Structure 1
Amino acid sequence: MSLITLAIPFFLIAVLVELALDRWRGWGLYRLNDAIGSLGAGILSRLSGLVRAGLLLAIYVPAYEWLKPIYAAAGLHWSADNIWHLFLAVVAYDFCYYWKHRFAHEINLLWADHLVHHQSEDYNLTTALRQPAGGPPVGWIFYMPLLAIGLPPEMVVTAGAIDLIYQFWVHTQKFPKVRWMEWIFVTPSNHRVHHAQNTIYVDRNYGGVFIIWDRLFGTYQEELEEEPCIYGVRKPLNSFDPLAANLQHYKRMALDAWHTKNWWDKLTLWFRRTGYRPADAEAAMPVPSCDLNNFQRFDPQITRGQRIYALAQHLCYSAATLALLWHAQHLDYWQQLTTVLALTFGLVVNGRILDGHRLAKGAELIRLGALAALLPLLPTPLSATLAIYCLLSALSWWWLAFTSKADRVALVSD
């Protein structure tokens, strides 16, 4: 069981605490649709991790073993039990993370993956859990320099988990500036800058734990009182479907490669600087950026009953995902893959329900029918539970989507 998986329940508790404070104080930080969209992307990220191989350790471990005699001769002995060794490991890992993160903002193909984390137009603790499901397998390259200091693979994994877990708490709007922290650590204030799409804030503050890298390499920007952060991306997703979130920029690049007549652009636009589009492709398929002077968050309307239904389904997917992560070692690959595909289909349909998409009505019934068709293949206790779930969900959705005449209401008022 990884540190990140163990931390998930604590993340969710923190989200619930912030949500309760938000409702009590009237801050207006949370919208149901955006929160479910972010959490759905986070679930998809954890699900995809079960069925795709990680290249970092597959390459790092053999390289480390090959270099072990050199480390022994040089007297390099790291210990996870030594707190200073662990601290230095986190510092070294975070330095590599800074460059990985920076390149993710500067190269089209890498941005296509990292973009998912920035699509939310709200900024709260659910934004921290909004993670990509897995892009081009090149991230491992940025951590290979850790071999130069002989960092053992297990400490790379631990330092990476600490780095990621630390980043959770900085995704909040209600933690004020603490001046001394702003010089050393990534804080909620300087990370709010990172998530803002204001011109002055774009492509700044890349550190994961330490902000000192940004100060050293010229990418630091302080949060300014006279320039409130506007969250999201310049070319908004306008959907709460986590699969669409992961495919957004890949689709745009593929269409650009299709429309441009320049073969050099067809081959290289994937690796050009973020935002680059061939002139003829842009003329054929213009994608305007949002107007920051009249910014409106994507907030479609659905009925209150459908809104509650989407929340209930999301809670079911969350519980099923936690159960799968907890028991994954007892399942073979094909059992894991089937469960991941079923949950992914559910997350996609739930996102489209929140979008108010016209096809969501039928798609939800198809999903429930497909799940019901799998019941004979499952163990009796599980099949009985899922049969009840399918029946109750189908009846509720039929009534809400096909017979209910309730007035349409805004998902959450601002």
Structure 2
Amino acid sequence: MNLITYAIPFFLISILAELALDRWKGWGVYRLNDTLGNLSTGILSRILGLTYKSLFLVIYIPLYQLLQPYYQAMGFDWSMSNGWHLLIAVIAYDFCYYWKHRICHEINVFWAEHLVHHQSEDYNLSTALRQSSGGLQLDWIFYLPLLFIGLPAELVIVAGAIDLIYQFWVHTQKIPKARWMEWLFITPSNHRVHHAQNKVYVDKNYGGILILWDRLFGTYQEELEHEPCIYGVRKALNTFDPLAANLQHLKRMAQDAWYTRNWWDKFTLWFRPTGYRPADAEAAMPVHSTDLTHFQRFDPHIRQARRIYALLQHLCYSAATLVLLWYYESLDFPQLLSVVVLLVFSLVINGRILDGHRLVKYLEPLRIALLIGLLPLLNAQFVPLFVAYIAISALMWWWLAITDKEDKVAVVSD
């Protein structure tokens, strides 16, 4: 259990508080579909992370052990209990984070992973939880310089958790500029700039805790009163499916590599500047950028009853995720993988329900049927609750299917 897992209840309470204020004051910064899309992507990130080992630890720890003679000669002796050591570790980590974050915006393959965090077309506290599932595991490269100052892996992990937890509060539209803080720290104002797709704001303000790095390296941009932020990415995702969100840019690059006839492009487009596409692939499969002068958020119109169903299902998936995060160490790998795969499948279908996708009328009954196969894996105390969930879900979906048919039948009068 790490700091981020312990912070999840605080994150959720804060989101609920901002949501309540949004509804009370009529701000309009929350939409159900976009919020569930953000939270589903966050859940996907956490549960997939349980199924593989961190490449950072696999590489960093052996290198740290190999460099022990150097650390002894230099007198490095870091301690987690020393507050100054922790502060220095956080600053050093944030410096590396700045460069990692910057490269993620500048190189295609790194953008493929980081893009997920920017896809939301709303900007609120739920956006902070919209995280990549980290399948490519490229982050470790940028933190290797911390080996030169002898930071042990456990201190790097804690510093990284502090850096990420700090960034949660800056994902809001309702805190104005913080005056003196704008000069030193990442704030809601200068991080709104980072999430905007306006030309003047693109690729600015990369810091995690400190905006100082952006001021030093020429990537700082102030939020302008005459230029309201338009959130999202120029190549819109247009789905609330969290798996599709993680695959969006990877899929496009793979298609480009397949269709281009230029062998040099096939192998190098992954490492070209973000957005680079071979000319022949772009001509064959054009992808239009969002027209910011007539910007409209992706917001499919589906029945209110289906929205409520998706919300209730999401609450169940959230509860299941919290239980899994607490008890996953008691499961063997096949059990863990089975639970994770079923949760991923459930999140994907729920996203497609919010999209109004035509295939969900078949996929959701399939999901409910597959849940029965999970019963043998459950602790006996959870079985009655799980059976009740399956029965209620089946009845609700059957009712939705019946009422959908009634809506589509024309009333013929005599």
Q: What residue is the counterpart of 2:175 in the other structure?
A: 175
* 2: CA distance, partners of 1:64 / 1:117: 31
Partners of 2:339 and 2:46 lie apart in 1 by 13
For residues 406 and 173 of structure 1, what CA distance do their matches in structure 2 show? 42
For 1:376 and 1:35, how far apart are their aligned partners in 2? 33
- 2:129 & 2:196 partners in 1: Cα distance? 17
Offset at residue 340 of structure 1 (A): 0.5
Give the distance between the partners of 1:271 and 1:240, measured in 2 at CA.
28
Question: Which residue does 1:219 correspond to in 2?
Answer: 219
Q: Distance in 2 between matches of 1:164 and 1:89?
A: 14
Matches within 5 A, 1:67-106: 67-106=67-106
Partner in structure 1 of residue 63 of structure 2: 63
Matched, 1:358 2:358: yes
- 2:156 aligns with 156
Aligned residue identity for 1:194? H
- 1:222 deviates by 0.5
- Whole-Å separation in 2 of the counterparts to 1:172 and 1:377: 40
Deviates more, 1:257-266 or 1:285-294: 257-266
1:162-311 superposed matches below 5 A: 162-311=162-311
> What is aligned with 1:114?
114
Deviates more, 1:398-407 or 1:2-11: 398-407
Instruction: Tell me the CA shift for residue 165 of structure 1.
Output: 0.4
Q: Which moved more, 1:147-156 or 1:399-408?
A: 399-408
How high is the TM-score relative to the length of structure 1?
A: 0.96
CA distance in 2, matches of 1:195, 1:407: 40
Deviations 1:224-253 (A, max 9, x none): 000000000000000000000001111111
Percent sequence identity over matched residues? 69
The amino acid of 1:26's aligned partner reads: G
Q: Return 5+ residue gaps in structure 2 as ranges.
A: 409-414
Please name the residue that 1:48 is paired with.
48
Shift of 1:406: 8.1
Verify the 8 A CA contact 1:108 1:273 in the aligned structure 2: yes
Aligned 8 A contact 2:176 2:189 in 1: yes
Alpha-carbon distance change, 407 to 216 in structure 1, aligned in 2, over 3 angstroms? farther
Q: Which residue of 1 aligns with 2:29?
A: 29
Question: Could you tell me whether the CA contact under 8 Å between 2:339 and 2:374 is conserved in 1?
Answer: no
Partner secondary structure for residue 50 of structure 2: helix
Task: Please give the per-residue CA displacement for 1:34-74, whole angstroms capped at 9, x wherever unaligned.
Answer: 00000000000000110011011111111112222221222
Distance in 1, matches of 2:377 and 2:193, equals 50
Aligned to 1:411: none
Mapped pair 1:345 → 2:317: no
Instruction: Provide TM-score, normalisation by structure 2.
Output: 0.96
Aligned amino acid, residue 54 of structure 1: S
* Distance in 1 (alpha carbons) for counterparts of 2:374 and 2:80: 45
User: Partners in 2 of 1:314 and 1:395 — Cα distance?
Assistant: 17
1:112–1:135: 8 Å Cα contact kept in structure 2?
no
Aligned to 1:140: 140
Q: Quick one: distance in 2 between partners of 1:65 and 1:256?
A: 42
How far apart, in 2, do the equivalents of 1:224 and 1:374 lie? Answer: 52
Query: Does the 8 A contact of 1:107 with 1:273 survive in 2?
Result: yes
Match of 1:327 in 2: 327
State the Cα distance separating 1:405 from its structure 2 match. Answer: 6.2
Choose 396-405 or 5-14, whichever is displaced more: 396-405
- Cα deviation code 1:119-141 (max 9, x no counterpart): 00000000000001113222101
**Counterpart Cα distance in 2 of 1:69 and 1:260:** 50
TM-superposition CA deviations, 1:335-370 (whole Å, max 9, x none): 111110010000000000000000011111000001
Shift of 1:378: 3.8
Shift of 1:407: 7.0
Rounded to whole Å, the distance in 2 between the matches of 1:120 and 1:21 is: 20
Change (3 A) 1:330 1:376: closer
Change (3 A) 1:4 1:379: closer
Q: Distance in 1 between matches of 2:269 and 2:207?
A: 27
Aligned partners of 1:10 and 1:36: how far apart in 2? 17
Shift of 1:380: 3.6
Tell me if the contact between 2:335 and 2:377 (Cα under 8 Å) persists in the aligned partners.
Answer: no
Q: Distance in 2 between matches of 1:63 and 1:406?
A: 65
Letter of the structure 1 residue corresponding to residue 95 of structure 2: F
Q: Deviations over 1:233-285 (max 9, x none)?
A: 00000000000000111111111112211111111111111010011111111
Q: Structure 1 stretches of 5 or more lacking a match?
A: 409-414
Q: Is the 8 A contact 1:171 1:192 kept in 2?
A: yes
Q: Secondary structure at the match of 1:148?
A: helix
Q: Secondary structure at the match of 2:172?
A: coil
Residue-by-residue CA offset, 1:184-230 (whole Å, 9 max, x unaligned): 00000000000000000001110000011111111110000000000
Tell me the distance in 1 between the aligned counterparts of 2:89 and 2:407.
56
140-149 vs 128-137, which deviates more? 128-137
Work out the CA distance in 2 between the residues paired with 1:160 and 1:378: 34
Give the match for residue 412 of structure 1.
none
Q: Is the 8 A contact 1:193 1:222 kept in 2?
A: yes
| Distance in 2 separating the partners of 1:50 and 1:114 | 19
* Aligned residues: CA RMSD: 1.3
